[in-house]
Structure formats: structure tokens, C-alpha cells
Amino acid sequence: MIDLSEELLMAYVDGQLDKPQAAVVGRLLRDDRDLAYRVSRLQQTQAQLLDTFGTLLRENMSSAQRNARASGAGGGSMLTGGSIAGIAFGALLLLLGASAGFTGAYYSGLAAKPDAAGVQMPSSNWPEDIAEFHAFFTKDTIGVSAESQSNPDMVKFQLAQLFKAAALPDFSSEGLKFARGQMLTHQRTKVMQLIYLGRNEPLVALYVSAGGLDIPMTPGRFGDVKTVSWTANERRYVLAADMPAQELKALAAVAQAQLGGK
Amino acid sequence: MGYIVDQKSQINSELGLMMPRLKSFAAALTGSEAKAQMLLKSTRNHILARMAKERGHTAMTLWAFTQMYKIWVSRMKGGPSDQPEPADPRLFQPRSRMNDGGASARFAMQLAQFAPQQRATLHLVYGERLSYDEVAEIFGVPVAAIITRLSKCHAVLAQPDERERSGFSPAAPSVPAHGRAA
């Protein structure tokens, strides 16, 4: 029997060990039934904790969105009243208003210029930030107006200007139609959000930014939002949608084939 | 397709995205809906006053969690009336799990009995999926303290009948210096 501490096993179960350490623990587990039993107990508790705290967080986030939509855009006192929903809704309106011809008057604390077209996204890690940001979008919040951002040629022009990328991915073979392009900023870097809508499919968005060395496709998720991120030809991409990971991966492969890169 | 130059709007936008997450953290820390709202409000005001200086220099969400924790710690040092009370188990039972035959209610009861820092650590690791390093940074403690804290929680949750022996600590009667708790 090998004596490994509960702390080490817990860190292994939580995925907090680096790869060499995790490989060693994994090997030991195969040969030691007692160790494997201890790990399985930790995994049971971990599963309960992940389910409970993950669900609580998701419920809180979706509740904030729901309340925000229900309370409408005219709540002048929402921000001063400390309403989370109001603030979340303001953020959403700021995002949508920037590109979708937003005309409603909303509370002064978050009032943006009607012609403003960029927003600052939360900062930390790129794919995670994108996924978190994407979680605030749903199909019914995307208004497509006759603005330039919905003009594919204008969006192609922007992509070429900013990222030396002339191609605008075409997912029509997958039942998705390009809806609009939207410029954002992330950690002072320009990011283009390309939104695609289908008849029944969930909202899909491809985020494009200037990047570095090539990185192969990597899956990720934030709540229900799945992502596939990669870097190719000095451009970073994150494809995000609330859809099965395999389907999203297939879409990413289509995009990658059109955009170039492995 | 220009760019917003109104920094206040940008800050509000970032803060808006963070608020539901801060609210969840506040609930885990305080164990009370009312106190969570108060803590959230104080933190929002604090962040709004300082966010402009921090943006671009740090991970905003981690920074916001840290600020909220510091505010909570300073309140705990304020006097007996500010000391944590037993947490409300309803805050730890997801609404979507209400009809699961009582399993989630029992689990929520166990979670509610942990110390505030233990609950908040569980939330950050299993809700926010932060690394141990990031959580240690938020609480201003060594990573080893976070691992010990989590390990004690696991032990209690795995063996609910042996709470006293395995490190269970009811709602903390006081907050140690610098808000540290193993």
C-alpha cells in the first residue's frame, strides 16, 4: 500500500497537480486498490460540490439576466438601488446597443453613446473570458438592423484591415447564416465578434483577435457555453455556442478550413 | 465601428458582468441573503472607486473577489454584532434540485455549517473553478492553507458522522487576524 496524503489525492482529483505529478499519481492508482478507493470517494464528494456550486452560480447568473430583461430598459433607479439585475442588463444593453441600432433610453449610470460601437470585455484569460461574455447572448437578444455590421462585405473589410483576414467564415452548409459583426475590446485589444444564426440552432459566435504562435484547437466551457479556441496565422479564434461539444468542434473545423491553419 | 472612450461606461459594463458572480461569492461568505446584498453593495461602490486604476494591470474578477473578501474581513473585526451567524442552508441548495428527495437539502445543511472561509473556498474552487493558487491569492493565505481547508471540507462531507474529529468547524465565532482560516 502506498501512503499518499488526502491533500495530494484531493489536488489530483481537482486537477490541480501538474502533468508529471498527475501521471505519477495516476500510475500508482492503477496498482493500488486502496488508493483507488480513496480517490473514488473524493471524486464522489467533488462531483456533489461541482454540481451544487456550479448550479448555484449558473442559476444566479441566469436569474440576473432574466430579472434584467423582465424589468425593462427604463429603470432609472436600478443602478442606484444596487440591483444586480439592473447592472447586468445595462451591460447587455451596452453590448447590444453598440451594434444593433439600440434606441431605447436606459438608466444614466450605464448610458452609452448611441453611435458607440465597441465595448470593454472582462479581462483575464482569452477563451474563458470569451465564453463568459458569450453566455450573456441569446438568440432573442440579437437584433439585426440594416447597419453596416450586418453587411458581410463591410465585415470582411474590417477583418482585412484589422487582422489581415479577408475570409468571413461561411457556415451555410451547417444551416447557419451570418447575422452581424461587432467590434469589441479585450484587454485593450480589438476583438471581432461574428454572429451566426440558424433556424433551430443556438446562437453561434466566432471571436477573432490578433494572436501569436499557432495553437491547435482546444475545447473549453463556461457554464453551458462550449468553446473551441485556436491560433493560426497570427490570429486567435474562439468559437462559442451553447451546443454539444462535438457539433461545435465540427463547426470549428469548417471555420479553420476556410480561414487557414491547422 | 469605433470604440467607446467613455471609461465609466466600460467600467460599468465590466462590473455588470461580474455582479452575479460577486453575489454568489458574497452569499457563500456571509451565509445570509441580506448580508450578501449589503456586502455586494459596499463592494460595488469600492470597486467603482478603484477600478479605473486597476484595469489592465490585473485580472479584474480575481481583484474584485479579493476586494470583497477584504471588506468582509474588515467588517468582521468591527464588533460582536458583525460576527457571522449560522448560514442559511437555502443559499446552498440550487432551485433546480429542490425535488430530488431531500439529498440536496441535506448537502446544503452540511455546507451551511462550514465556516465562512470554508464555504467561500468551496464556492471559488467548485463554482468558479479557480485554481488553488488563485483562491490563495484572493484570501491572502498560502496555497497550503487552501489545500488544508478543502481537505477538511472533503473529510466532513464524506463522513458526516465524524464532523468533530475531522476538522468540522461550525460558523466561525470570530475571524482570525488577516481573515485567515484553515
**Structure confidence by residue, pLDDT tens digits, B22-47:** 999 999 999 999 999 999 999 988 88
User: What region, left, alpha or beta, does residue A28 occupy, with left being phi > 0 and alpha being psi -120 to 50 degrees?
Assistant: alpha
Q: For residue A86, give the nearest of B94, B29, B40, B92 by alpha carbon.
A: B40
ipTM: 0.82
Size of interface A-B (CB pairs under 8 A): 179
Residue B98 pLDDT grade (very low, low, confident, very high; cuts 50, 70, 90): confident
All cell numbers assigned to B50: 478603484
Q: Grid cell 470583497 — which residue? A: B68
User: A141 in helix, strand or coil?
Assistant: helix
Model confidence pLDDT, tens digit, residues A192-240: 889 998 887 788 999 998 877 888 888 888 778 889 998 888 888 999 9
Q: What is the C-alpha separation between A54 and B128, in angstroms, rounded?
A: 7
B162 interfaces chain A, CB cutoff of 8 Å: no
**So what's the pLDDT on residue B177?**
35
Q: For residue B36, give the nearest of B130, B129, B116, B148 by alpha carbon.
A: B116
A160 interfaces chain B, CB cutoff of 8 Å: no
Mean local confidence (pLDDT), A30-39? 89
Give me the sign of the Cα torsion angle A125, A113, A168, A160. Answer: negative
Cβ contacts of residue B59 below 8 Å, gap of 6+?
A123, A124
Residue A74 has pLDDT above 50, yes or no: no
Is residue A210 within 8 A of residue A190, CB to CB? The reply is: yes
Give A1-5 contacts, CB < 8 A, sequence gap 24+: A1/A32, A1/A34, A1/A35, A2/A28, A2/A31, A2/A32, A2/A35, A4/A28, A4/A35
Residue A146 has pLDDT above 90, yes or no: no
Mean local confidence (pLDDT), A70-77? 43
Residue A9 pLDDT grade (very low, low, confident, very high; cuts 50, 70, 90): very high
B40 interfaces chain A, CB cutoff of 8 Å: yes
**So what's the pLDDT on residue A214?**
80
Taking an 8 Å cut-off on Cβ atoms, the answer to whether A44 and B158 are in contact is yes
**So what's the pLDDT on residue B108?**
95
Q: What is the C-alpha separation between A85 and A67, in angstroms, rounded?
A: 6
Residue B115 has pLDDT above 70, yes or no: yes
Model confidence pLDDT, tens digit, residues B12-21: 777 777 889 9
Q: What is the C-alpha separation between A39 and B68, in angstroms, rounded?
A: 34
What are φ and ψ of residue A223, in 5° steps? 60, -125
Ordered strands of the A176-186 beta sheet: A120-121, A176-186, A189-198, A204-210, A235-241, A225-232, A215-222
Residue to substitute from B5, B11, B19, interface A, most A β-carbons within 10 A: B19
Q: For residue B43, give the nearest of B24, B5, B69 by alpha carbon.
A: B69
Nearest CA in chain A to B94: A56
User: Lowest-confidence range among A1-15, A87-101, A247-261, B129-143?
Assistant: A87-101
Domain spanning A120-259: CATH superfamily: MucB/RseB, C-terminal domain (3.30.200.100)
Model confidence pLDDT, tens digit, residues B145-156: 999 999 999 999
Nearest CA in chain A to B39: A82
Q: Which structural domains are found in chain B, ordered by start?
A: 8-179 (1.20.140.160)
Contacts of B27 in chain A (CB under 8 A): 56
Tell me chain B's radius of gyration from C-alpha atoms. 17
The per-residue pLDDT of chain B, averaged, comes to: 79
Residue A139 pLDDT grade (very low, low, confident, very high; cuts 50, 70, 90): low
Q: What is the C-alpha separation between A107 and A127, in angstroms, rounded?
A: 31
Taking an 8 Å cut-off on Cβ atoms, the answer to whether A57 and B127 are in contact is yes
Taking an 8 Å cut-off on Cβ atoms, the answer to whether A52 and B20 are in contact is no
Residue A76 has pLDDT above 50, yes or no: no
Mean local confidence (pLDDT), B67-80? 86
> Per this entry, what is the length of chain A?
262
Taking an 8 Å cut-off on Cβ atoms, the answer to whether A64 and B20 are in contact is yes
By percentage, how much of chain B surpasses pLDDT 90? 51
Is residue B146 within 8 A of residue A10, CB to CB? The reply is: no
Q: What is the C-alpha separation between B150 and A14, in angstroms, rounded?
A: 10
**So what's the pLDDT on residue B59?**
72
User: Lowest-confidence range among A97-101, B88-92, B157-161?
Assistant: A97-101
Residue A130 has pLDDT above 90, yes or no: no
Q: List Cα–Cα distances, B93 to A44, A60, B18, in angstroms.
A: 18, 12, 22
Nearest CA in chain A to B45: A82
Q: At what angle do helices B103-112 and B143-158 cross, to 10 degrees?
A: 140
Identify which of B2, B21, B128 has the shortest CB distance to residue A117. B2
Taking an 8 Å cut-off on Cβ atoms, the answer to whether B14 and A120 are in contact is yes
Is the model more confident about A137 or about A81? A137
Q: What is the DSSP string of B85-154?
A: ----GGGGS-GGGTTSTTHHHHHHHHHHTS-HHHHHHHIIIIIS---HHHHHHHHTS-HHHHHHHHHHHH
A117 interfaces chain B, CB cutoff of 8 Å: yes
A243 interfaces chain B, CB cutoff of 8 Å: no
B89 CA to chain A: closest CA distance, Å?
Answer: 12
**So what's the pLDDT on residue A188?**
64
Q: What is the 8-class DSSP label of residue A203?
A: P
Q: What is the DSSP string of A113-131?
A: -TT----EEP-S-HHHHHH
**So what's the pLDDT on residue B37?**
93
Identify which of A44, A55, A88 has the shortest CB distance to residue B16. A88
Model confidence pLDDT, tens digit, residues A102-124: 222 222 222 222 223 334 444 44
Residue B172 has pLDDT above 50, yes or no: no
Is residue A195 within 8 A of residue A203, CB to CB? The reply is: yes
By percentage, how much of chain A surpasses pLDDT 90? 19
Q: What is the 8-class DSSP label of residue A133?
A: H
User: A262 in helix, strand or coil?
Assistant: coil
Residue A81 has pLDDT above 70, yes or no: no
User: Lowest-confidence range among A172-176, B67-71, B105-109?
Assistant: A172-176
Contacts of A47 in chain B (CB under 8 A): none
**Exposed/middle/buried for residue B99 (C-beta within 10 Å: 0-12, 13-18, 19+):** exposed
User: B80 in helix, strand or coil?
Assistant: helix
Contacts of A113 in chain B (CB under 8 A): 4, 6
Tell me chain A's radius of gyration from C-alpha atoms. 22
